[in-house]
């Protein structure tokens, strides 16, 4: 299983990075939309829908939301900050949902009684998980595209690097050394040691980037943002575990050998993308 996970990751990571750096904006939007629509198909199972018609209906409604995002977001984003009401609203909705999600996770044994049998509410939770993240990723890719088509690509690369570092660090440290369960009611496999391992790997990555940039004066903001994003990354994973547990599922799907479904791979990304994009807006600007 471990060997299969590694081989799959070695195949998928270059594919994702090639899409980020080399696809035109429209092609990149389509690439992300396809991945997120597959995730929406899996989310339909979290809602309890088993029929193909119900699942495809949910995918179609989510797809209309993606089309709306694509049309409503500005075509080009420039430094310094360029305001856009739809973009701002989308990011704040996403961040607001993840604040709620954190509370639901922390109080899972009590709060699940409120939503676990409510199919419509779980469907809305899927929208608020996928739509803001989709929009945030498009926003990041569009940053300063006319002046430099790779500015946004490097921003997304940084986001992916953070998520992957947290994931790898959590696995490398948590697997052999993990003893204290983080939230066993939600995810029995998550440990405090894994959390600290992910945090360590992320901070090492940020330090390496800061060293490459000759330690800029505002690097303390980088560390603060990295800590918040790493914690949110973990809660993104826990959120999906929460929905899978309620639905009685081990994985969100089986499309990726050794990794489960698409949601199993992008859960942390959906949690971190809106906040990362907001940090870019506040501290770098689009």
Q: 95: which residues sit within 8 A by CB, 6+ positions away?
A: 132, 274, 275, 278
CB 131 within 8 A of CB 96: no
Task: Give the pLDDT band of residue 4 (cuts 50, 70, 90).
Answer: low
Q: Which residue has the higher pLDDT, 233 or 221?
A: 233
Q: What is the pLDDT of residues 39-78, one digit of tens each?
A: 999 999 999 999 999 999 999 999 999 999 998 887 666 5
Q: Is the pLDDT of residue 271 over 60?
A: yes
Q: How much of the chain exceeds pLDDT 70, in percent?
A: 91
CA distance 81 to 282: 8
pLDDT for the residue 286: 47
- At residue 236's C-alpha, the angle toward residues 54 and 221, to 5°, is 140
Side-chain half-sphere of 193: how many Cα atoms within 13 Å?
A: 12
CA distance 136 to 90: 8
Q: What is the pLDDT of residues 87-120, one digit of tens each?
A: 889 999 999 999 999 999 999 999 999 999 999 9
- At residue 23's C-alpha, the angle toward residues 208 and 236, to 5°, is 55
Please state, rounded to an integer, the average pLDDT across all residues of the chain.
Answer: 89
Q: Is the pLDDT of residue 5 over 60?
A: no
pLDDT for the residue 6: 58
pLDDT for the residue 87: 87
pLDDT for the residue 260: 74
The least confident of 79-88, 123-132, 274-283 is 79-88
Q: Is the pLDDT of residue 3 over 60?
A: no
CB 251 within 8 A of CB 260: yes
CA distance readout (Å), 55 to 38, 61, 192, 251, 267 = 10, 10, 36, 17, 19
Highest mean pLDDT: which of 147-151, 187-191, 270-274? Answer: 270-274
The sign one gets for the Cα dihedral 69, 162, 264, 184 is negative
Task: Give the pLDDT band of residue 282 (cuts 50, 70, 90).
Answer: confident
Task: Compute the residue count for the chain.
Answer: 286
Task: Give the pLDDT band of residue 80 (cuts 50, 70, 90).
Answer: very low
Residues 176-205, mean pLDDT to the nearest whole number: 93
Which strand (E) or helix (H) includes residue 128?
Answer: helix 119-142
0.85 cut: is pTM over it?
yes
């Amino acid at each position: 299983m471990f060997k299969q996970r590694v081989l799959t990751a070695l195949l998928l990571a270059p594919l994702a990075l090639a899409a980020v750096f080399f696809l035109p904006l429209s092609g990149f939007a389509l690439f992300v939309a396809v991945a997120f629509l597959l995730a929406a198909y899996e989310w339909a199972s979290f809602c309890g829908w088993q029929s193909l018609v119900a699942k495809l209906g949910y995918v179609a409604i989510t797809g209309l939301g993606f089309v709306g995002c694509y049309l409503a977001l500005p075509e080009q984003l420039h430094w310094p900050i360029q305001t856009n009401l739809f973009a701002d609203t989308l990011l704040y909705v996403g961040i607001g949902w993840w604040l709620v999600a954190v509370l639901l996770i922390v109080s899972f044994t009590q709060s699940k009684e409120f939503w676990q049998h409510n199919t419509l509410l779980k469907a809305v939770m899927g929208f608020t998980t996928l739509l803001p993240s989709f929009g945030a990723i498009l926003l990041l890719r569009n940053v300063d595209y006319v002046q430099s088509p790779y500015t946004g690509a490097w921003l997304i690369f940084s986001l992916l690097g953070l998520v992957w570092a947290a994931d790898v660090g959590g696995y490398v440290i948590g697997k052999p050394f993990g003893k204290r369960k983080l939230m066993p009611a939600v995810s029995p496999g998550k440990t405090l040691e894994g959390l600290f391992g992910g945090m360590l790997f992320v901070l090492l990555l940020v330090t390496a980037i800061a060293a490459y940039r000759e330690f800029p004066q505002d690097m303390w903001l980088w560390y603060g943002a990295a800590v918040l994003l790493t914690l949110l990354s973990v809660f993104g994973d826990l959120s999906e575990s929460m929905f899978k547990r309620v639905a009685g599922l081990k994985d969100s799907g089986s499309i990726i050998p050794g990794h489960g479904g698409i949601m199993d791979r992008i859960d942390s990304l959906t949690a971190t993308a809106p906040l990362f994009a907001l940090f870019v807006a506040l501290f770098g600007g689009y």
